[in-house]
Amino acid sequence: MGTLPLTAAISAEVAWHVARCLEVEVASDVAGVREADHAETNPQAKELVCVPLACSLVGQQHPVLIEAGTLAARLYQVVETVEPFFCSFGVNLSYQGALEQAGMSFTGFDKNREPHILELPKHRFFLAALYVPQAAHTQTRPPPLLVGFVAACQRRS
């Protein structure tokens, strides 16, 4: 896959932080996981909502299976996509039920049902991916998640 251009590397970092913050904030502010935290920034925390993956996905591409009837499904218009990953952390599955009860939907998964796309369906457009969709797409083939986000912004303005 080669080296990421600086803009893609920066956006990969921003995208990952958004997904990580979404999980931690929903857990602490909505699901009542008072000390929710992330293992990368606070590995000694009592309630780690984001934990190290068994195997790092940094620099790899993997299939993501998309749930029908979701925002991600509307944007991708396929049931499976192959996406680039630059992370070594994921959702702590022991908190998945609490996050779902708080309104978060897990809408994209790997073959083992590990979540890779998170949505807050009650919001107009709130979607986070635990991969970097813009890293595998080109100017003539833009990433569907970002195209959808731009379209939602245009409708809003």
Q: What is the residue type of 38?
A: H
3-state secondary structure of 51: strand
Per residue of the chain (157 residues), what is the pLDDT tens digit?
444 444 444 344 444 445 667 788 888 888 888 899 989 889 999 999 989 888 888 888 999 999 999 999 999 999 999 999 888 888 899 999 999 999 999 999 999 999 999 999 988 888 888 888 888 777 788 889 888 888 888 887 7
pLDDT of residue 15: 47
Q: Do residues 26 and 99 touch, judged by C-beta distance below 8 A?
A: yes
Is 1 within the bounds of a domain? no
pTM over 0.85: no
Is 41 within the bounds of a domain? yes
Whole-number Å distance between alpha carbons of 65 and 81? 7
For 131, the domain range is: 6-156
The residues near 29 (Cβ < 8 Å, ≥ 6 apart) are: none
3-state secondary structure of 111: coil
Evaluated on CA atoms 42, 21, 17, 79, the torsion sign reads positive
Is 139 within the bounds of a domain? yes
Count of C-beta atoms within a 10 Å radius of residue 150: 11
Q: How many domains does the chain have?
A: 1
CATH number where 52 lies: 3.40.50.880
- Kind plus residue range of the DSSP H or E element containing 126: none
pLDDT of residue 17: 46
